[in-house]
Each structure stands twice: as C-alpha cells, then as structure tokens.
Amino acid sequence: DMTITEICDVLRKELVNNCYEYGFVVDGKTYKPDMSNGFDEEYYNLAQTISVVQEPFVTMQEKTGTCIDAAIVMKHLLDELSVPSKIWLLYNPKKNKVHTVLTFEAEAKVVYLELTPQSAKEWYGKELVFTDACEFCQWYEEKGYEVSDVTERVFVGERPMFLLEKLG
C-alpha cells in the first residue's frame, strides 16, 4: 500500500507541477476568468450555462479546469492506484458560494488535499489528515459550510447539477 505522502506526491505532480489554470473547456475552446477587474461576470455566466464536468484527459491535456475538474482528475489518478476517494460539495449559504473537493483514504485516515487551480486557500497543496470523514465534514462545517458527498452525482460530460442547484 502507498503512504499518504506517496499518494499526495502523485496528485501534486500532475496538478501542481503542470501549472494547471482555472477555467473550463467546451468544444475545444478554453474559457478562463479575467480577474484583473475583480469579478468576471461574463465568465461566471458561461460557467453557469455552458460548462460541463470535463473528461479527466481533457483537463490533463489542456491544463485547465475548475474545482470539479481537479477533483475528477484526482479521482481518476486515485482509481488507477486503487485508492478509495470521495468527492464533496461544500456550500456556504451565507456567501452563496460552492466548492468541490476530494478526499481519499490511506493509512486508515481520510486525507484532504486542496489542488484546485490557482486556489488562494492557505492549505493549498498541503495534505490535511483526518481520523474519518465525519471529522473532515465537521472541520468545514465549523467554517460555515454545508458538506455533502456528491461522488455518485458527478457525471463527466454533464452539467454539474449537484452544484448549480445550490446556487439557485
């Protein structure tokens, strides 16, 4: 069995060393937010209307993806290594913000590794180790998030309804 560190190194090698950027690809065209003026409304509207959950190989080839796409690439790599993983939706009702992350199991622990492209979270790229999934959920709930396991609701090639429903 691989150690937590070895598994995290595989994930970081793909998502960090390859300098993934935030955005999405539809029909071969790449869309990235222009954050030079703060919030990119046009990008946000496109993300709400035309983006789909990308095939992991598209994300890996284009080096562009959203938090969902990063989670799918991680799940793809973990599945190849036979490492159990889950995809979680984090929803902050106060800020009406959503985020998708992945956890995996190794060494009888649950590990969260934030690898969303261009994430500003202080724990980006650092493995956070929890006793179990409940402890992981509580950690985010204490930050004001509703946490739900959406592993079975994420479908490659489809709109991310599990996430869009929360945004209304």
Q: Which residues pair with 50 in a beta bridge?
A: none
pTM of the model: 0.95
Q: Is the pLDDT of residue 14 over 90?
A: yes
For range 128-149, the mean pLDDT:
98
pLDDT digits (tens, 9 = 90+) for 18-57: 999 999 999 999 999 998 888 899 999 999 899 999 999 9
Q: Which of 91, 90, 132, 134 is nearest to 111 (CA)?
A: 132
Indicate the pLDDT class of residue 168, thresholds 50, 70 and 90.
confident
Measured distance CA(23)–CA(20) in Å, rounded? 9
Contact at 8 Å (CB) between 15 and 60? Answer: no
Structure confidence at residue 37 (pLDDT): 83
Indicate the pLDDT class of residue 131, thresholds 50, 70 and 90.
very high
